[in-house]
Amino acid sequence: MMKISSKLITLFKTNSSFIISGHINPEGDSLGSSLALALGLKSLGKKDVTVLSKDPVPEILKFLPSSKIVKQQPPRKTFDVAVLVDCNELKRTGFENFNAKKIAVIDHHIVATDSGSALFYKSLAGSLIDPSAAAAGLLVYRVLKSLNVSMDKNIATNLYTAILTDTGGFRYSNASAEALQVSSALVEAGAKPWDISKNLYDSVEFRSMKLLGLSLSTLEEKDGIAWIVTSQSMFSRTGTTAEDCEDYVNFPRKVKDIEVALFFRQHSRNSYKISLRSKGRADVQKIANSFGGGGHRAAAGCMVTGSLKDVQKKVFTAVKKEIKKTKS
């Protein structure tokens, strides 16, 4: 477990105003971690704390305590500290900059290695970046414990949701002992596993199920890869949006004996958002990086331009190359 620097803890203790932002298209880890950090800081008497998200809170996450405080535009003021949560680059927040004197990062993604990113990391006033952590929620938990924040039901619910989301309901290989131990402590603090799971997994809108049916009808499998596609015409036919298919990549992932699952979501006429999942051996983060995206070894994403045929050709070629490496 990576030790938290005293520099980061001092940053939270000695400053008064904070703006916290996760990544674009927020999911349970990004939003739950950001809200938990905000609630923790407020419990310490930090009254000026803003949570920011470029995209609105997904309907499925509106049950999270204090989700209504999330803003989509930063206030016109200067904050002492901007905190990036569940991302380690400004571009991933969707904002070009923040009106803040200092910037800190709490994240579990692999850091970029280009010169521009290196300068950004060097400029940070504090950071906790641990790619071995199952979720950003675990890192926020470590920070809050170091700040002696008392875990109440609201903080615990947000953090439990964060960990549950990024471990796939504790099914993925990153469901570590720490993830399970911390989740147990959060349940003791008031998090309700069934209520949270019901909101996340058993409260799907009927229109979303119709969209899933159309998408699953495109299911294909070849060369150790399984994939499905959601087109703009499917969104139009069902009255749905991209928010309704956030977890669709997990369905082709269920196919037996494949190495990589892919989900092609049409973003515009000539661009597709690609979600990639590995069964363990293939490093899909490297594949996503090659297309300008990122993520984790077993879960990543990117945007690719072109027709569906061209996009699939490019992505399949890269995936097959990665799968071949695992067999050599």
Same domain, 75 and 176: yes
What is the Cβ-side half-sphere exposure of residue 129, based on CA atoms within 13 angstroms? 16
Same domain, 107 and 232: no
| Helix segments in 99-176, DSSP class H | 115-123, 136-146, 153-166
Task: Compute the average pLDDT of residues 165-190.
Answer: 95
Q: Is 196 contained in some domain?
A: yes
Same domain, 74 and 176: yes
Same domain, 248 and 195: no
Domain final residue, candidates 152, 170, 201: 201
Same domain, 63 and 175: yes
Same domain, 125 and 39: yes
Residue 328 has pLDDT above 80, yes or no: no
Same domain, 196 and 214: no
Same domain, 271 and 197: no
Domain of 281, in residue numbers = 207-327
Same domain, 110 and 22: yes
Task: Output Rg (C-alpha) for the chain, integer angstroms.
Answer: 20
CATH number at residue 167: 3.90.1640.10
Domain final residue, candidates 179, 201, 223: 201
pLDDT score at 263 = 98
How many domains does the chain fold into?
2
CA 135 to centroid of chain Cα atoms:
8
Which residues is 88 bridged to in the sheet? none
CATH number at residue 236: 3.10.310.30
Same domain, 31 and 122: yes
What's the mean pLDDT when you consider all of the chain? 95
Residue 290 has pLDDT above 70, yes or no: yes
Tens-digit pLDDT profile for residues 68-103: 999 999 999 999 999 999 999 898 999 988 999 999
Task: Compute the average pLDDT of residues 224-234.
Answer: 98
Which amino acid does the sequence have at 317?
A: T
Between strands 294-295 and 271-278, the pairing is unpaired
Q: What are the φ and ψ backbone dihedral angles of 227, each rounded to 5 degrees? A: -155, 160
pLDDT score at 120 = 86
pLDDT score at 115 = 65
Q: Is 1 contained in some domain?
A: no
From the CB of residue 76, how many other CB atoms can be counted at a distance below 10 Å? 6
Same domain, 49 and 121: yes
Query: For the whole model, what pTM was predicted?
Result: 0.89
Same domain, 107 and 21: yes
